[in-house]
Every structure is written in C-alpha cells, then in structure tokens.
Structure 1
Amino acid sequence: MQLQGASTIDIINRLPILFAPANYVYYIWFLVFIFLFLWIKNYLPLRQSDQFITPVQTILFLCTIIFQITSLLNWHNGLLIVSLILLTLQLISVFALYLTYPLKKEMLKLRLPIAIYFSWTTFLFILHICYLLVDYSWRGFGLSSALWAVIIMTIGTAIALHLRFHHFDIAYPIVFIWCYIGIAIGNGFGELLVTTAALFLSGVMIVGILFMKKNPVHLK
C-alpha cells in the first residue's frame, strides 16, 4: 500500500529486521482480501440458515477492519507505538471473532477466512514489535539479533501448533509456514542460523498439520 510517498514494504525494509520475510510474502494480502470478501458475501445467505453470522460476529468484524485501517494509517505517518496499540486491538478483535465459531466440523469451513486473517494479523503483530525494538535500538539483554529471531519464530510455531491441535486449524499454521519460508529466503546465506531455524520450524509445522490428530475433547 502506497501512502505518504512510501509503501508499507518500503518502510519495513528501512531497518534490518531478521524476522522480516522476503517481499513476495506480503502478496498474501490478496488471498486475505479474497477470503474476507467471501466472508462478507456469505453474510446475507447465512443469516437465513442455522449457521448465521451473529450480531456479535458482525461487530467484531467491523472493529477489526477499523483497527486495521487506523493502524496502517498511523504506521505510514510514523506513529509506530500508536500503530502497535491499534494493531493489538485488531488482533484481540479478530481472535475474539475466531473464538465465536463452535468447534464443530460444519463450522470449520465457515471459520476459514477468519483463521487466515487471524494468522496473518498475528504474524504482522510480531513483525511490528520486532520493528519497534530495532527502531529503538533495543540491545536484547546481550543476546544476538539472530538468536532473538529464532526465539520469536519458535514462539510463533508453538502458537500455530497450539491452534492446530486445540482448534483443529490447518489454515493458521499454513500462513506461518508461508511467512517462515519467506524469512529463510529473505535472510539467505547472510544469516544461516535464522534461515535454518525458519526452514526447520516450517518442517515442524508441516508435520503438525499432517500428523496431529483431531482433538477428541473439542472437535465433534
């Protein structure tokens, strides 16, 4: 997105963020928008069925979109902390929307657009924090930037696998795999620790997607 004479990617690339993926990763926005359009398109038909979109879901969706737009505008205006606060509210809103879907087989397909959006928002939230810390010259308690990148990616993987198991969500870790492969490509041979960790953790999530069984406690 081009605002104030610079695109969002241009601003991200101003600082050496090891967690930042290759530029092509951001084209996932097109996929996100397509799925959000499908969510909106199904709004009226679903209101006539037993799988209708509730007023609570509508409010949470609108709040999420408003927070996203205002966060992006503040980001382009250099108000990074304000942007992060709004992005945090966006993440909370979309997570709350995500949780409104019952863990039933027939609801998983309806949850798909929100799951993709939630996963991408989570990644952007982590990336935004990394950007802010680098911008403020955070020293990382003596640990190297590469090691912190690995720690952060490990936390992201744990979140993705948690949702894979407890919410039987395949879409969420797939988005993270897309992003982590982009991190590996973006860092290349210049940061082998980060590149290796990104590829390894992508493999871990792929294994989780393929071999994690349905959680019998939740999914019915």
Structure 2
Amino acid sequence: MIMKLVNIAAFIYLLIASFVFAGDMGGSDEAFIAPSGFTFSIWFLIYLLILISLVRQFTADERDRALYKKISFLFSSSMLLSGTSVLVGTTASLLFIAGSLITLSVLYALITKNPDRSSFFIIPFSFYLAWTSIATIVDAFIVANANGVDLIFGLNELGWTIIMLIIGGGLAVYFSLYNDDLIYPFVFLWGYFGIFVKDDKPVQVTYTLSIVMIGLGVFIMWKVYREVRGRRMRAETV
C-alpha cells in the first residue's frame, strides 16, 4: 500500500512540475531537432494512461498486482526524474531526463519478462518510454546549443541532427521488432512529424525527415497488416 501511495504522490509531483512550474511545454526552438509545440500535447495522453495505470494498482487481478509491486520503485522514480527535469536548469535537465529514460527502460524490460500480464499493462509505459526517448535526444541538442558547443567529433549541429534522426528511426523499428511493440515507432513518427512541420529548419533536415517518416509509416502499416492477418489466421483455426 505504501508504494502505491508513493506512486500517486510521484504522479502528482510530475503534474505540478509540468503544469505549474514548467512554463512552455513546447520546449526550445533553438535546436533543429526540437518538435513544434503542439507535438508535446502527447503528454496529456501519457498522463491519462499513467493515471489509469495508477488506478489499476488497486483494481487489477492478482497477476498484475504482483507486477505493479515489482515495478513500483522504478515507476515512481521515473516520474520523479521526469518532473525534476523540467524544474532544473537546461544542462541539469538532460541528466534527469536521461535518468528517467534509463529507469523506464529497466521497468519496460521487467514488464516484458512477464508474459502473463494483461494486454493493457504495457501500453502506458510504451508511450512514456517512447516519448522520453525523443525528449532525451532533443534535450541533448538543446544543452549543446545552450553551452555553445558547435562541433562534436568534427560534425556540426546539422550533421548530428541528420544522424540522430536516422538512428532514432532505426531504433524505433528495431525496438518494435524486438519487443513486438507497435506504439513505440508510432510515437517516433508523431515526434518526427512535429519536427517536419516546424518552420526555419535546414532543407537537409526536411529531406531526411521525409525519408525516415515514409520508412516508419510503411513499417507501421506492415506491422498492423501482419497483426491483423495473424489474428484472422488464429481465428480460422479455432
């Protein structure tokens, strides 16, 4: 019961940090890779899903309650780290959001090792992990700009932006295939769309985004088709 209450308190802290003290949810426009402000509306969906997950701590069946107990510390830690990342300075925020990403990654791995869980259990954490992955990448560029870092290993911001967009798209596909997770690449596609529609970005970034977004879109459609086809085949064998 204590950890359930701690999770609720951590969620309230995250909400207060985000809505009362954080200011503009749209982030910084200084980095090429920063999405448009409207893209951050996905946080409202994430908050809703987390809230549902918190309620399910008390109403879930025995197998899910045992899993909630196993991940409770990581769950509350991820929310505390995410909330703190919007309260501290620009450079320190990267450390906290990266800490949240690591915590969520471990939490996600623990969940996927429990095949007997309910189908809903993983959904909130898929959205949360995917968007935190994007936020960590964006924050890295924002911190570099804020500290006047122009070159890293001989490449400027434009070069690294193109590289990270491609790596991010590839990571989303690999993660989806490895974990059979459709949500993760969808969230990346949403984030990339937010970058695509933002004004004042180099044409090279636009071209890269176009190619990666098409690739993600095709992959998602193939994944959906395969899932629907698999369900029909299973239904026909019953």
TM-score, normalisation: structure 2: 0.78
Larger radius of gyration: 2
Quick check: 1:148 aligned with 2:148?
Answer: no
The aligned amino acid for 1:129 is: A
Quick check: 1:67 aligned with 2:53?
Answer: no
Structure 2, unaligned runs of 5 or more: 1-18, 228-238
Q: Pairwise CA RMSD of aligned residues?
A: 2.2
Q: Distance in 1 between matches of 2:217 and 2:25?
A: 29
* Partner residue of 1:112 out of 110, 113, 123: 123
Tell me which of the two structures has the higher relative contact order, counting C-alpha pairs closer than 8 angstroms and 6 or more residues apart.
1
Instruction: Give per-residue Cα distances to partners, 1:64-87, cap 9 Å, x unaligned.
Output: 11111111111xxxx223221111
* Partner residue of 1:44 out of 47, 52, 58: 58
How many percent identity over aligned positions? 21
Quick check: 1:197 aligned with 2:211?
Answer: no
Distance 1:105 1:191, change over 3 A: farther
Structure 1, unaligned runs of 5 or more: 215-220
Q: Which residue of 2 aligns with 1:218?
A: none
Distance 1:132 1:94, change over 3 A: same
Structure 1 residue 90: Cα displacement: 0.8
Structure 1 residue 187: Cα displacement: 3.8
Structure 1 residue 144: Cα displacement: 4.1
Q: Which residue of 1 aligns with 2:134?
A: 123
* Partner residue of 1:18 out of 32, 53, 70: 32
The aligned amino acid for 2:99 is: L
Q: Which residue of 2 aligns with 1:57?
A: 71
Q: Distance in 1 between matches of 2:59 and 2:25?
A: 35
Q: Which residue of 1 aligns with 2:112?
A: 102
Tell me how many residue pairs correspond in the alignment.
204
* Partner residue of 1:81 out of 80, 83, 91: 91
Structure 1 residue 105: Cα displacement: 8.3
Structure 1 residue 36: Cα displacement: 0.8
